[in-house]
Amino acid sequence: MRNVLLAFARVHILHHAGEEPIFGLGMMEELYRHGYRLGAGTMYPLLHQLHADGLLSVQTETINGKRRKYYTMTRKGRVALEGIRPKLAELAGEVLPNSSLIHDKPGKQGGPRQRTRPKR
């Protein structure tokens, strides 16, 4: 379960880093609003890994004598997030089929969805 939630947290991080520069504590607070309880020992390695993977860029600033790293989404991160969105929409459409949160369900425009297992 933890690995799945960390994958969701990564998507949240990419999304927010695409909207504005983010920093660790700010993202911990944002994710907390969404029900995630990530400590610094989880958040900072996530940010460092996304940076190492080339999905985030980092800029260090000194504010009130403290160094703060601000992360923004790179072009590679934007491409990755755009690739994730349709898969996320399809998954949400299957897992939450009656949800009002789902607007464009995959398979509606391009014909029927592929079945994942044969009919019985």
Query: Which H or E run contains 84?
Result: helix 75-95
Q: What is the CATH number of domain 2-95?
A: 1.10.10.10
What pTM was computed for the model? 0.76
- With 60 as the cut, is the pLDDT of residue 66 above it? yes
For residue range 77-117, list pLDDT tens digits in order. Answer: 999 999 999 999 999 889 987 766 555 544 443 333 333 33
Residue 36 exposure: Cα atoms within 13 Å on the Cβ side: 24
Rounded CA-CA distance 93/44 in Å is: 31
All structural domains of the chain with their residue ranges: 2-95
